[in-house]
């Protein structure tokens, strides 16, 4: 932080703490962000590296990842570290960090695809070399636990990365089309509509909780990971941003608890909009003690978001589902909650 700005902040706090805007103070102390950097776009024949920065993967999952990326027209590469196992991790924190940094440094690698999520990405955030990442901007794509990497890399280097398929995802026509539209054939402005294939169960359909339009840069990802980063140096400012959220396997009271933490932390106070994916397997479990009295998921979402004065929509095509958008973390977009669409207002790759 600029020394003069820091001293000024302390002076204001000392003489007028009751009128100081907490958000503005947080923005100068915790949320200083580097300029946004866009990675180079992908093209057919490019070499993509497969990494496992969180949970370990099997040989079968590695081969599935190779097959999926080859069918998209890419060459693939990986190191022996990708199949390491240490407890529930893909090798030690050091192993996973070195593997990811090697791929960012390798000039022959044009993009990086996480084979899966799981757990472990947040543990390596302090070990990444963000100067190297900034100097070697390339596509990084994944979702779920990979949310931690999207946050950390954007906050520390400014690089736009992508919430999209992992190597073992279902690369169906819808997901492939969205992947290519964002990463290979980007448009200066592109409208994105939800899938109508019926491939993914969505008991609530696409639901507009608060109608309206909002414009801002996309930030977000998996709800559990978003909450876990509050108070860390890897968290990002939600002010003026469109927050996208996905989750899997959490009962309504747990979703309630996590959203309440975000609300009480002031994360939505100055946001531009909220776009939720399909929260898969997030209803009350059949044998739960809460079954008879629990709110359902939609009741929780309407209760927590219904009073916000920004557009909020649920059930968009992303998350732990087959039909996926590829969402650029850090790119400028407009959300239309009433029409249940979003528009990228800039290319997310160069």
**What is the residue-level pLDDT of the chain in tens, covering all 350 positions?**
444 343 334 333 333 333 333 333 333 335 788 999 999 999 999 999 999 999 999 999 999 999 999 999 999 999 999 999 999 999 999 999 999 999 999 999 999 999 999 999 999 999 999 999 999 999 999 999 999 999 999 999 999 999 999 999 999 999 999 999 999 999 888 999 999 999 999 999 999 999 999 999 999 999 999 999 999 999 999 999 999 999 999 999 999 999 999 999 999 999 999 999 999 999 998 776 666 688 999 999 999 999 999 999 999 999 999 999 999 999 999 999 999 999 999 999 99
Q: How far are the Cα atoms of 121, 170, 314 from residue 321, in angstroms, in the given order?
A: 21, 9, 14
Q: What is the pTM of this model?
A: 0.90
Q: Enumerate the active-site residues.
A: 144, 246, 320
Q: In what order do the strands lie in the sheet with 190-193?
A: 190-193, 341-344, 332-336, 213-222, 241-246, 273-276, 312-314, 207-210
Report the candidate in 41, 341, 347 with the shortest Cα–Cα distance to residue 191: 341
Would you say 47 and 35 are in contact if contact means Cβ atoms under 8 Å apart?
no
Q: Considering only CA atoms, which of 308, 224, 220, 300 is closest in space to residue 263?
A: 308
Q: Rg of the chain's alpha carbons, rounded to an integer? A: 20
Residue 11: per-residue pLDDT? 36
Query: How far apart (Å, rounded) are the C-alpha atoms in residues 260 and 254?
Result: 10
Distance from CA of residue 15 to its chain's centroid?
39
Tokens of 102: 């090697």
Instruction: With both helix axes pointing from N to C terminus, report the angle between 252-264 and 297-305 in degrees, rounded to the nearest 10.
Output: 10
Contact 13, 20 (CB under 8 A): yes
């Amino acid at each position: 932080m600029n020394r003069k700005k820091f001293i000024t902040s302390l002076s204001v706090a000392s003489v007028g703490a009751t009128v100081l805007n907490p958000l503005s103070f947080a923005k100068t102390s915790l949320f200083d962000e580097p300029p946004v950097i866009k990675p180079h776009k992908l093209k057919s024949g490019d070499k993509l590296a497969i990494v496992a920065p969180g949970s370990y993967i099997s040989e079968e999952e590695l081969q599935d990842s190779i097959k999926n990326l080859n069918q998209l027209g890419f060459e693939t590469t990986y190191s022996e570290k990708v199949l390491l196992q240490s407890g529930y991790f893909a090798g030690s924190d050091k192993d996973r960090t070195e593997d990811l940094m090697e791929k960012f440094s390798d000039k022959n690698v044009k993009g990086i695809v996480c084979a899966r999520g799981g757990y472990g990405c947040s543990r390596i955030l302090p070990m990444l070399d963000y100067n190297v990442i900034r100097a070697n901007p390339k596509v990084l794509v994944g979702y779920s636990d990979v949310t931690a990497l999207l946050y950390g890399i954007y906050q520390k280097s400014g690089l736009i990365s992508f919430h999209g398929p992992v190597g073992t995802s279902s690369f169906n026509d819808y997901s492939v089309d969205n992947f290519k539209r964002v990463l290979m054939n980007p448009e200066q402005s592109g409208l994105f509509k939800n899938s109508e294939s019926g491939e993914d169960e969505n008991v609530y359909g696409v639901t507009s909780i608060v109608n309206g339009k909002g414009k801002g840069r996309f930030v977000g990802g998996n709800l559990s990971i978003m909450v876990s980063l509050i108070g860390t140096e890897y968290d990002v400012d939600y002010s003026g941003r469109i927050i996208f959220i996905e989750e899997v396997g959490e009962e309504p009271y747990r979703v309630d608890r996590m959203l309440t933490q975000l609300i009480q932390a002031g994360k939505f106070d100055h946001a531009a909009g909220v776009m939720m994916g399909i929260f898969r397997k997030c209803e009350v479990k059949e044998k739960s003690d809460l079954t008879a009295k629990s709110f359902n998921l939609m009741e929780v979402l309407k209760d927590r978001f219904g009073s916000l004065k920004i557009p909020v929509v649920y059930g968009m095509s992303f998350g732990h589902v087959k039909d996926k958008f590829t969402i650029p973390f850090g790119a400028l977009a407009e959300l239309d909650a009433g029409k249940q669409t979003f528009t990228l207002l800039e290319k997310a790759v160069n």
